[in-house]
C-alpha cells in the first residue's frame, strides 16, 4: 500500500435493522487532498462519516488511517490523527469562543490535565486561521450561523491533526456563507496540507472545491479524480437518478 494514501476503505459494509446502507465501499484518499462525498439522502454518507470518525464500527471490511485499522486504534491515538466537525451542534450558552475552541484538546488529555503552552498556541493559531480574532472573547450563543460554524472548525483545527472530516458543514448556512466557508476549507488545505474529507449535498460545490468526488449509491461508491477525470451526465444520473446537462466552467465540469 502506498504511503501516499492516508485513508483507505476496504470492503466496508454496514446495515441497520431495516436497511443495508453500505455494501462494499472501497476508496483511497491521497494525503493532502480534498475529497468530497456526495449522494442522495439515505445513501450512507452519514453512516460512513460515523465509521471514519470512530463513532460506529463497520460490520464488514475495514477503514485504515496510515495503514492502521480505525477500530483497533485507541481513542487518544485516533484523536492525534483525526479531527471532525459534526453536522448537528447544540447552541451552547455562557462559553466564550476561546474556551469552546479549548475543548478540542479534551480527547488527548486526562480529566485532570490542564491546557499547556502548546495547546494555547494551537488555539490562537486556529482562531487566527478561521478569522475569529475579534470574536474570541464573545459568547458563542451571540454569534451568527456562519461565525458559529467557523468556531466548530477552529475547535477541530486546534487539535493539529493531519486529517479533518466534516459532515455537511454548509447545510444551515446562507449561500454566501457556504461559499466563504468552503473557500476557507480550501485555503486551509492548500496552506497547511491538511487532508480533508467532507460530505456535501451540492454537486457544484463538490466539483469546485474538491480534488476528488466520491458518489455513494445503493451501498457502493463511484470515484472521480477531478485532476484527471470529469463529472459527466452518466455519473450524475448514476448517483442521483436525474439526467442533467453538464456545463464546462473555468475548466471544470
What is the distance between the terminal CA atoms of the chain, rounded to a whole angstrom? 31
Query: Measuring CA to CA, which residue among 170, 124, 119 is closest to residue 149?
Result: 170
Residue 241 is predicted with a pLDDT of 86
For the entire predicted model, the pTM comes to: 0.92
Task: Inform me whether the pLDDT recorded for 2 exceeds 80.
Answer: no
Q: How many helices (H) and strands (E) does the chain have?
A: 8, 10
Q: Where are the beta strands (DSSP E) in the chain?
A: 5-16, 19-30, 34-38, 60-65, 68-69, 82-85, 163-167, 195-199, 212-217, 220-225
pLDDT in tens, 34-58: 999 999 998 999 999 999 999 999 9
Q: What is the per-residue DSSP string for 26-56?
A: EEEEETT-EEEEE--TTSSHHHHHHHHTTSS
Helix (H, G, I), strand (E, B) or coil at 219: coil
Residue 244 is predicted with a pLDDT of 72
- 184 CB-near residues (< 8 Å, 6+ apart): 130, 131, 150, 153
d(CA 241, CA 50): 25
| All domains of the chain in start order, with CATH | 5-88+161-240 (3.40.50.300)
Distance of CA 53 to the CA centre of its chain: 9
pLDDT in tens, 11-24: 999 999 988 999 99
Residue 1 is predicted with a pLDDT of 45
- In which band, very low, low, confident or very high, does the pLDDT at 212 lie, cut at 50, 70 and 90? very high
Is residue 101 classed exposed, middle or buried when 0-12, 13-18 and 19+ CB atoms within 10 A define those classes?
buried
pLDDT in tens, 124-156: 999 999 999 999 999 999 999 999 999 999 999
Question: What are 68's strand-pairing partners?
Answer: 65
Residue with cell 470518525: 53
User: What average pLDDT is seen over the chain?
Assistant: 92
- 106 CB-near residues (< 8 Å, 6+ apart): none
Residue 251 is predicted with a pLDDT of 58
Question: What are 95's strand-pairing partners?
Answer: none
Amino acid at each position: 500500500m502506498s504511503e501516499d494514501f492516508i485513508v483507505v476503505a476496504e470492503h466496508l459494509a454496514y446495515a441497520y435493522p431495516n436497511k443495508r446502507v453500505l455494501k462494499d465501499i472501497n476508496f483511497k484518499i491521497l494525503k493532502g487532498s480534498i475529497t468530497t462525498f456526495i449522494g442522495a439522502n439515505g445513501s450512507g454518507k452519514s453512516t460512513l462519516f460515523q465509521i471514519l470518525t470512530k463513532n460506529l464500527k463497520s460490520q464488514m471490511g475495514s477503514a485504515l488511517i496510515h495503514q492502521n485499522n480505525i477500530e483497533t486504534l485507541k481513542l487518544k491515538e485516533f484523536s492525534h490523527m483525526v479531527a471532525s466537525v459534526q453536522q448537528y451542534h447544540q447552541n451552547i450558552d455562557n462559553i466564550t469562543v476561546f474556551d469552546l475552541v479549548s475543548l478540542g484538546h479534551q480527547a488527548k488529555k486526562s480529566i485532570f490535565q490542564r491546557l499547556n503552552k502548546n495547546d494555547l498556541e494551537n488555539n490562537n493559531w486556529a482562531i487566527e486561521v478561521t478569522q475569529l480574532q475579534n470574536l474570541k472573547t464573545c459568547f458563542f450563543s451571540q454569534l451568527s450561523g456562519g461565525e458559529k460554524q467557523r468556531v466548530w472548525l477552529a475547535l477541530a483545527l486546534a487539535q493539529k491533526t493531519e486529517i479533518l472530516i466534516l459532515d455537511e458543514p454548509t447545510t444551515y448556512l446562507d449561500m454566501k456563507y457556504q461559499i466563504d466557508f468552503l473557500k476557507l476549507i480550501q485555503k486551509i488545505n492548500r496552506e497547511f496540507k491538511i487532508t480533508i474529507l467532507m460530505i456535501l449535498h451540492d454537486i457544484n460545490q463538490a466539483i469546485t472545491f474538491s480534488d476528488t468526488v466520491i458518489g455513494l449509491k445503493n451501498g457502493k461508491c463511484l470515484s472521480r479524480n477531478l485532476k484527471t477525470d470529469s463529472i459527466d451526465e452518466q455519473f450524475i444520473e448514476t448517483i442521483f437518478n436525474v439526467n442533467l446537462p453538464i456545463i464546462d466552467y473555468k475548466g471544470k465540469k
